[in-house]
């Protein structure tokens, strides 16, 4: 006999519509495979009278219809953003419902509060769709890789920016034209700020880092640099040096209690597995103590891939025993409750991180320019392993010096660049792109 699972859906935008569609399509199949009959009972929307692409059941604009309905087992939060998503998630937990959310922003900013609220009332929060959407990275880290000590995560976690960088690299489009193309094809939002600024990637890194390293982290703790400073010139130079440029989220354990967390455009060798991740695709590359290197690849956005992850969470929650004794602190390990497992690791300040760098200096072409740059870098303990120069074809006497450095401390590089940027030979600010081998 099947078990009924009643769902309260919060939000019916693109992802909510995808969820309703996928559920309608797969309901019988899921029931046959899992013994669960999934039913959306209420759908919270701003205006129930609006035209929609799907018939969402039980349209209401009153959250209390869902919170006050004791037959609802799971609330699926697809409103996005911080408020009222945070309040609705916490109220749903307090009303005795488990929660599934695709909302990386609310987890990154309020994850601690949300998981603590869930723990206190013995409910669960599942969030597979929040990172890499259709690729089951959360479940893999939470369950499949439990026996591993994970010491490195490197991810292409944002499809919009990966699409833009790929088009720049493959079609030699400017950033503005690649962004326009991404918007026309629906890969970028009309307002792409949270994608191109790296904020969306930083939110996702918060979620991954909390889960993998047990670290207490908020987006403000993560050094975040977006892609708006990347010029076609740098994409071409990277190619010439044997690299490509990707917006990476990086979490690396640098000592037993210290983790480096950062989001920035990164040059990676063309032979690196992440270099093959093109267009709107996402990937997460990690290193586990037992499994070694591993990479997950697939669609990190879009209504159906996101709905696929949400349905998997609903099914997993639906399959759990109906009754877990309270209080269950200590009886059910946090990792199975979907919660993060807070540890005592600290975040390495960005100034102390060490990296190889690609530097591009727009200069006036005259004798001794490269010497001046090299001397100043050397004075700050920055060693060079490659340097080339090229004139800007249409601009008389203007050129670019491109330098690759050996590993250098961020603070030392910053100091050197602030001095170099003031030199009379400079015709603009230096461009810096960090390198991961
Ligand atoms: N806007 C995101 C992206 C998807 O481009 O990958 C939602 O996180």
Residue 126 and residue 24 in one domain: yes
Q: Closest ligand 1 atom, CA of 282? A: 6
Residues 202-217, mean pLDDT to the nearest whole number = 92
Site to probe by mutation for ligand 1, drawn from 18, 132, 200 as the one with most ligand atoms within 8 Å of Cβ, is: 200
pLDDT of residue 397: 83
Cβ atoms within 10 Å of 8's Cβ, excluding its own = 28
pLDDT reading at 332 higher than 60: no
pLDDT band, very low/low/confident/very high, at 390 (cuts 50, 70, 90): confident
- So what's the pLDDT on residue 64? 98
- 289-296 long-range Cβ contacts below 8 angstroms, 24+ apart: 289/148, 289/149, 289/150, 289/151, 290/147, 290/148, 291/145, 291/148, 294/145, 296/132, 296/135, 296/136, 296/137, 296/140
309: confidence class by pLDDT, cuts 50, 70, 90: very high
Q: Could you give the percent of the chain with pLDDT greater than 70? A: 95
Q: Which residues 6+ apart lie within 8 Å of 117 measured at CB?
A: 89, 90, 93, 94
Print the domain residue range for 102.
Answer: 3-136+304-337
pLDDT in tens, 150-160: 999 999 999 99
Where does the pLDDT of residue 424 fall: very low under 50, low under 70, confident under 90, or very high at 90 and above? very high
Average pLDDT, the chain: 93
Does 345 fall in a domain? no
Sign of torsion, CA 214 217 223 224?
Answer: positive
The whole-number average pLDDT for the span 373-389 is 96
Residue 342 lies in a domain: no
Is 70 exceeded by the pLDDT of residue 330? no
**CATH code of the domain covering residue 131:** 3.40.50.720
Residues 117 and 161 in one domain: no
Query: pLDDT higher for 328 or 140?
Result: 140
| CA 261 / ligand 1 centre spacing (Å) | 20
Is residue 144 included in any domain, yes or no? yes
282 CA to centre of ligand 1 in angstroms: 9
Chain segment 392-402, per-residue pLDDT in tens? 777 778 999 99
Residues acting as catalytic residues: 204
Of ligand 1's listed atoms, the one at least distance from the Cα of 189 is 1
Same domain, 171 and 313: no
Burial 313-326 (b: 16+ CB within 10 A, else e): bbebbbeeeeeeee
Predicted TM-score of the model (pTM): 0.95
pLDDT of residue 326: 43
Per-residue pLDDT, 323:
44
> Going by CA atoms, what residue is nearest to atom 4 of ligand 1?
301
Instruction: Please give the residue that has the higher pLDDT: either 413 or 328.
Output: 413
Task: Indicate whether 344 belongs to any domain.
Answer: no
Q: What pLDDT, on the 0 to 100 scale, is given for residue 395? A: 72
User: Which one, of 431, 410, 409, lies nearest residue 420 by Cα?
Assistant: 431
Q: Is the per-residue pLDDT at 189 higher than 90? A: no
- Unique residue bearing structure tokens 């600290």: 346
> Which range in 179-188, 382-391, 405-414 is most confidently predicted, on average pLDDT?
405-414
Instruction: Clarify whether residues 162 and 288 are in a common domain.
Output: yes
Concatenating the DSSP letter of every residue in 217-251 gives --GGGSEE--STT--HHHHHHHHHHTEEEEEEEEE
Place of tokens 């209690």: 257
Structure tokens at 362: 């727009």
- Write the DSSP assignment of 308-334 as a string of letters: HHHHHHHHHHHTS-S---SS-TTTS-G
Going from the Cα of 184 to the center of ligand 1, the distance in angstroms, rounded, reads 15
Do residues 183 and 161 both lie within one domain? yes
pLDDT, tens digit, for every residue of 237-262? 999 999 999 999 999 999 989 999 99
Counting from 1 in the atom list of ligand 1, the atom nearest the Cα of 161 is 5
CA atoms within 13 A on the CB side of 56: 28
> What was the pLDDT predicted at 342?
63
Q: Which residues are CB-contacts of 179 (< 8 A; sequence separation ≥ 6)?
A: 164, 188, 192, 196
Counting residues of the chain whose pLDDT is more than 90, the rounded percentage is 86
Residues 150 and 281 in one domain: yes
Quote the pLDDT of residue 344. Answer: 77
224 bridge partner residues = 263
How many structural domains are present in the chain?
3
Q: Measuring CA to CA, which residue among 314, 319, 320, 312 is closest to residue 135?
A: 312
Average pLDDT over residues 187-214: 94
CA-157 nearest atom, ligand 1:
6
Residue 134 pLDDT exceeds 90: yes
pLDDT at 336: 47
Instruction: Answer yes or no: do 176 and 293 share one domain.
Output: yes
Assess whether 311 and 280 both reside in one domain.
no
CA–CA distances in Å: residue 329 to residues 126, 323, 333:
18, 15, 8
In the structure, which protein residues have their CB atom closer than 6 angstroms to any atom of ligand 1?
158-160, 195, 200, 300-301
Dist. CA 228–CA 388, nearest whole Å: 24
pLDDT in the model for residue 311:
98
* Structure-block tokens of residue 104: 């990386």
Q: Which residues, in sequence order, are bridge partners of residue 404? A: 358, 386
Which residue has a Cα nearest atom 7 of ligand 1? 301
- Give yes or no for residue 391 having a pLDDT over 90: no
Whole-number pLDDT of residue 322: 59
| pLDDT range class, residue 327, cuts 50, 70, 90 | very low
Q: Which atom of ligand 1 is nearest to the CA of 194?
A: 1
Query: Is residue 148 a part of any domain in this protein?
Result: yes
Tell me whether residue 198 is exposed, middle or buried, using C-beta atoms within 10 angstroms of its C-beta: 0 to 12, 13 to 18, 19 or more.
Answer: buried
Handedness of CA 344, 345, 347, 348 (dihedral sign): positive
User: In which band, very low, low, confident or very high, does the pLDDT at 340 lie, cut at 50, 70 and 90?
Assistant: low
For ligand 1, the distance from its centroid to the CA atom of residue 341, given in whole angstroms, is 26
C-alpha 160 to ligand 1 mean position (Å): 6
Residue 380 pLDDT: 97
The mean pLDDT value for 297-307 works out to 97
Is residue 291 domain-shared with residue 317, that is, in the same domain? no
Q: List, as one string, the DSSP characters of 10-23.
A: E--SHHHHHHHHHH
pLDDT digit string, tens, across residues 20-77: 999 999 999 999 999 999 999 999 999 999 999 999 999 999 999 999 999 999 999 9
Q: Is residue 89 part of a domain?
A: yes
- Rounded distance between C-alpha atoms, residue 131 and residue 209, angstroms: 11
CA 234 – ligand 1 centroid, Å: 24
Together in a domain, 284 and 150: yes
**Range 405-430 average pLDDT:** 97
Pocket perturbation via mutation, ligand 1, pick of 108, 300, 302 by most ligand atoms within 8 A of CB: 300
Q: What confidence tier does 343 reach under pLDDT thresholds 50, 70, 90?
A: confident
343 lies in a domain?
Answer: no
- CATH number, position 385: 3.30.70.260
Q: Is the same domain home to 292 and 154? A: yes
Is 377 in contact with 419 (CB distance < 8 Å)?
no
* CA–CA separation, 53 and 177 (whole Å): 31
Q: Same domain, yes or no, for 165 and 247?
A: yes
**187 belongs to a structural domain:** yes
Task: Output the domain CATH number for residue 229.
Answer: 3.30.360.10
Band of pLDDT at residue 334, cut at 50, 70 and 90:
low
């Amino acid at each position: 006999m099947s078990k009924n699972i009643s769902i309260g859906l919060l939000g019916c935008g693109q992802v909510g519509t995808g969820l309703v569609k996928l559920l309608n399509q797969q309901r019988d199949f899921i029931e046959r495979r899992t013994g669960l009959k999934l039913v959306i009972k209420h759908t919270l929307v701003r205006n129930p009278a609006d035209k929609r692409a799907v018939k969402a059941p039980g349209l209401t604009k009153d959250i209390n219809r869902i919170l006050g309905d004791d037959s609802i087992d799971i609330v699926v939060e697809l409103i996005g953003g911080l408020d009222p998503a945070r309040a609705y998630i916490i109220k749903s937990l307090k009303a005795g419902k488990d929660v599934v959310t695709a909302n990386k922003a609310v987890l990154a900013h309020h994850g601690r509060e949300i998981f603590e609220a869930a723990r206190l009332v013995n409910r669960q929060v599942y969030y597979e769709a929040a990172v890499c959407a259709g690729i089951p990275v959360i479940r893999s880290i939470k369950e499949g890789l439990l026996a591993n000590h994970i010491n490195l995560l490197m991810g292409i976690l944002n499809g919009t920016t990966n699409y833009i960088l790929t088009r720049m690299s493959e079609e030699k489009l400017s950033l503005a034209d690649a962004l326009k193309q991404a918007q026309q094809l629906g890969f970028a939002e009309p307002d792409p700020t949270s994608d191109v600024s790296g904020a969306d990637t930083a939110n996702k890194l918060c979620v991954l880092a909390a889960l993998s390293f047990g670290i207490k982290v908020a987006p403000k703790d993560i050094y975040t640099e977006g892609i708006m400073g990347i010029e076609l010139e740098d994409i071409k130079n990277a190619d010439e040096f044997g690299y490509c440029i990707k917006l990476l989220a990086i979490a690396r354990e640098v000592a037993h209690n210290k983790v480096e967390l950062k989001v920035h455009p990164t040059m990676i060798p063309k032979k690196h597995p992440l270099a093959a991740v093109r267009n709107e695709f996402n990937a997460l590359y990690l290193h586990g103590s037992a499994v070694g290197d591993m990479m997950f690849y697939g669609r990190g956005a879009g209504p159906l891939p996101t709905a696929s992850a949400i349905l998997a969470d609903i099914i997993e929650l639906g399959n759990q025993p109906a009754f877990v004794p309270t209080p269950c602190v200590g009886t059910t390990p946090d990792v199975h409750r979907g919660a993060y497992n807070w540890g005592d690791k600290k975040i390495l300040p960005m100034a102390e991180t060490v990296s190889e760098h690609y530097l591009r200096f727009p200069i006036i072409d005259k004798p001794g320019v490269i010497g001046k740059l090299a001397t100043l870098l050397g004075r700050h303990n920055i060693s060079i392993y490659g340097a080339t120069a090229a004139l800007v074809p249409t601009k008389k006497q203007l050129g670019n010096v491109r330098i690759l450095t050996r590993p250098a401390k961020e603070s030392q590089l910053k100091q050197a660049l602030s001095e170099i940027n003031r030199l009379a030979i400079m015709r603009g600010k230096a461009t810096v792109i960090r390198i991961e081998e």
